[in-house]
């Protein structure tokens, strides 16, 4: 359920015609709906009637206005870099609700996390544990730690977004984790508080979540026998959304399945949803530049793979809808960008509205891993981000300029 709807054949974001925003900010641009973001956050967060913290996965959509919105709803943040920690703090996220994930945190990033007083570090290797112990010792503080275990569960999603299989780089194999906990427990500057796992993204079934939680529960039992008591259980993110015809479980069904399994565990639950909150709360608006009939029909638009990488990166599907509906009907076409790469497409062999040069198109479900994955490839300034709230809209990130492109570059003077 989202607030991008047609009224009199015209696409609106809440009460604002998308066409009006395009006239003001130009194209392409990302557009988010406050009502949709709020609704999705609450639907998720309120589904869990047990002690929990919903730590929004910052990497899915990291604009500080959006992080601030979730912080105002009581949310925390799951971060994967010092840059994301900086954003979360600037956005007003309570550091006591920040969890730090990722396989390769640098010493500087570990220090930044400790200085900020975050809730916990999700540690992914023994070497990282030692690095954190050393930083904590230098600072004379205790580091709250959870280990990300790899439960070897198949999330049944795209290979690039599977993370909980033994062959993936993430976490510590669950069968090796007990030794690591025992080691950590003895370390003076480490405070062991949690277990975490995150098995993948865009999951459309509940069973892999339940399977991994069952494995983690058994593991927590083994820890208890070894005298190690866990107060935080982090189940990661990964709940999928509908891009096309997927039928993912609703947050309420997911929460219900988790609740049953949590029975008897005296832990605060940490959740790290990203895509499920923001994916369908954002669109990318682009303009048709040209159309041409080669071996097939091509619609050339002003947004490319540097603006929205998911189709190129994962072969991902995004619905393409008209900003103003016409009587022209649909056609099968490739919607491609201006980038000098064959892999530069937003849609391939897909049913799209018949358009002419100058028409506006909405690339649906682009709120997650859209702008946050954008780059400057081909020296294209990154596009603006716009947030609608009721009948108002706000530019929450300006369009980059050519000057922005070379800021920080210098020609060595001889
Ligand atoms: C990417 C990521 C998430 C969010 O995943 P979604 O599929 O967007 O919910 C959560 N936790 C970790 C550790 C991640 O890497």
402 vs 66: CA distance, rounded Å: 26
Atom 3 in ligand 1: which residue has the minimum CA distance?
237
Residue 2: is its pLDDT beyond 80? yes
pLDDT category of residue 112 using cuts at 50, 70 and 90: very high
State the distance from the centre of ligand 1 to the C-alpha of 201, rounded, in angstroms.
Answer: 6
Residue 65: is its pLDDT beyond 80? yes
Instruction: Kindly state the percentage of the chain with pLDDT values over 70.
Output: 100
360 vs 302: CA distance, rounded Å: 10
106 vs 100: CA distance, rounded Å: 12
Phi, psi of 335 (to 5 degrees): -100, 115
310 lines ligand 1 (CB under 6 A): no
State the distance from the centre of ligand 1 to the C-alpha of 347, rounded, in angstroms.
Answer: 25
Q: Is 188 within 8 Å of 230 (Cβ atoms)?
A: no
pLDDT category of residue 337 using cuts at 50, 70 and 90: very high
pLDDT category of residue 165 using cuts at 50, 70 and 90: confident
Q: What is the pLDDT, as a whole number, of residue 167? A: 77
Answer with the residue of higher pLDDT: 154 or 87: 87
Question: Given CA atoms 404, 405, 408, 409 in this order, what sign does their dihedral have?
Answer: negative
Q: What is the pLDDT, as a whole number, of residue 155? A: 84
Question: Given CA atoms 32, 35, 40, 45 in this order, what sign does their dihedral have?
Answer: positive
237 lines ligand 1 (CB under 6 A): yes
Residue 159: is its pLDDT beyond 90? no
Ligand 1 nearest atom to the CA of residue 60, by list position: 8
Ligand 1 nearest atom to the CA of residue 101, by list position: 13
Q: What is the pLDDT, as a whole number, of residue 345? A: 97
Over residues 79-111, the pLDDT tens digits come to: 999 999 999 999 999 999 999 999 999 999 999
78 lines ligand 1 (CB under 6 A): yes
- Write down the domain spans for the chain: 4-32+279-406, 34-278
Q: Which CATH number fits domain 4-32+279-406: 2.30.42.10, 3.40.80.10, 3.40.50.300, 2.40.37.10?
A: 2.40.37.10
Residues in the chain: 414
236 lines ligand 1 (CB under 6 A): yes
Ligand 1 nearest atom to the CA of residue 238, by list position: 7
Phi, psi of 197 (to 5 degrees): -155, 155
80 vs 188: CA distance, rounded Å: 25
Give me the long-range contacts of 401-407 (CB less than 8 A, separation at least 24).
Answer: 405/376, 405/379, 405/381
Over residues 272-314, the pLDDT tens digits come to: 999 999 999 999 999 999 999 988 999 999 999 999 999 999 9
Give the residue-averaged pLDDT of 41-70.
97
Residue 1: is its pLDDT beyond 80? no
Question: What's the order of all strands across the beta sheet hosting 10-13?
Answer: 4-7, 10-13, 16-17
Give the residue-averaged pLDDT of 228-253.
96
201 lines ligand 1 (CB under 6 A): yes
Q: What is the pLDDT, as a whole number, of residue 348? A: 96
Residue 263: is its pLDDT beyond 90? no
Tokens of 12: 């609106």
State the distance from the centre of ligand 1 to the C-alpha of 271, rounded, in angstroms.
Answer: 9
How many CA atoms, within 13 angstroms, populate the side-chain half-sphere of residue 391? 0
State the distance from the centre of ligand 1 to the C-alpha of 225, rounded, in angstroms.
Answer: 31
Residues forming the annotated binding site for substrate?
Answer: 275, 310, 314, 341, 369
Answer with the residue of higher pLDDT: 163 or 332: 332
CATH no., domain 34-278: 3.20.20.10
231, containing H or E segment: none
Contacts of 209 (CB under 8 A, 6+ apart): 199, 203, 235, 238, 254, 257, 258
Ligand 1 nearest atom to the CA of residue 203, by list position: 7
232 lines ligand 1 (CB under 6 A): no
Q: How many CB atoms lie within 10 A of CB 137?
A: 15
Q: What is the pLDDT, as a whole number, of residue 163? A: 77
Q: Helix 107-116 vs helix 82-90: angle between axes, to the nearest 10 degrees?
A: 20
State the distance from the centre of ligand 1 to the C-alpha of 266, rounded, in angstroms.
Answer: 24
Pocket perturbation via mutation, ligand 1, pick of 122, 212, 237 by most ligand atoms within 8 A of CB? 237
161 lines ligand 1 (CB under 6 A): no
Q: What is the pLDDT, as a whole number, of residue 156? A: 79
Residue 166: is its pLDDT beyond 90? no
Residue 370: is its pLDDT beyond 80? yes
155 lines ligand 1 (CB under 6 A): no
Q: What is the pLDDT, as a whole number, of residue 161? A: 72
Q: What is the pLDDT, as a whole number, of residue 157? A: 79
Tokens of 38: 């709020």
13 is catalytic: no
Q: Is the pTM of this model over 0.85?
A: yes
Residue from 13, 55, 61, 340 carrying the catalytic annotation: 340
Pocket perturbation via mutation, ligand 1, pick of 40, 44, 57 by most ligand atoms within 8 A of CB? 57
pLDDT category of residue 171 using cuts at 50, 70 and 90: confident
């Amino acid at each position: 359920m989202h607030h991008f709807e047609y009224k009199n054949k015209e696409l609106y974001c809440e009460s604002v015609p998308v066409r009006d925003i395009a006239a003001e900010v130009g194209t392409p641009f990302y557009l988010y709906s406050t009502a949709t973001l709020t609704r999705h956050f609450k639907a998720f967060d309120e589904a869990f009637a047990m002690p929990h913290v919903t730590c929004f996965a910052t990497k899915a959509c990291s604009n500080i206005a959006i992080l601030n919105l979730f912080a105002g709803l009581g949310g925390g943040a799951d971060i994967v870099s010092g840059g994301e920690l900086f954003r979360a703090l600037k956005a007003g996220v309570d550091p006591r609700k920040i969890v730090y994930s990722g396989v390769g945190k640098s010493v500087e990033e570990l220090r930044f996390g400790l200085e900020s007083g975050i809730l916990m570090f999700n540690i992914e290797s023994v070497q990282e544990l030692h690095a954190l112990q050393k930083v904590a010792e230098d600072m004379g503080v205790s580091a709250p730690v959870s280990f990300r275990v790899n439960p070897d569960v198949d999330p049944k999603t795209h290979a690039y977004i599977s993370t909980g299989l033994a062959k993936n780089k993430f976490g510590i194999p669950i069968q090796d984790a007990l030794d690591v906990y025992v080691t950590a427990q003895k370390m003076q500057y480490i405070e062991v508080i949690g277990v975490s796992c995150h098995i993948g993204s865009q999951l459309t079934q509940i069973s892999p979540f339940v399977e991994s939680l069952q494995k983690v529960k058994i593991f927590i039992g083994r820890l208890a026998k070894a005298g190690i008591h866990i107060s935080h259980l982090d189940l990661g993110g990964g709940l999928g959304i509908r891009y096309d015809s997927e039928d993912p479980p609703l947050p309420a069904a997911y929460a219900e399945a988790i609740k049953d399994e949590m029975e008897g565990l005296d832990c605060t639950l940490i959740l790290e949803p990203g895509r499920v909150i923001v994916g369908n709360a954002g669109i990318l608006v682009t303009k048709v530049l040209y159309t041409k009939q080669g071996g097939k029909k091509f619609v050339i638009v002003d947004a490319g793979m540097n603006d929205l990488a998911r189709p190129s990166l994962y072969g991902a599907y995004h619905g393409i809808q008209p900003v103003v509906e016409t009587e022209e009907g649909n056609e099968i076409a490739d919607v491609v960008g201006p980038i000098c790469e064959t892999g530069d497409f937003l849609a391939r062999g897909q049913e799209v509205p018949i358009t002419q040069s100058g028409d506006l198109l909405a690339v649906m479900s682009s709120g997650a891993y859209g702008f946050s994955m954008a780059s400057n490839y081909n020296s294209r300034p990154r596009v603006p981000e716009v947030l609608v709230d009721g009948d108002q809209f706000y530019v929450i990130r300006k369009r980059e300029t050519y000057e922005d492109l070379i800021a920080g570059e210098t020609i060595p003077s001889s």
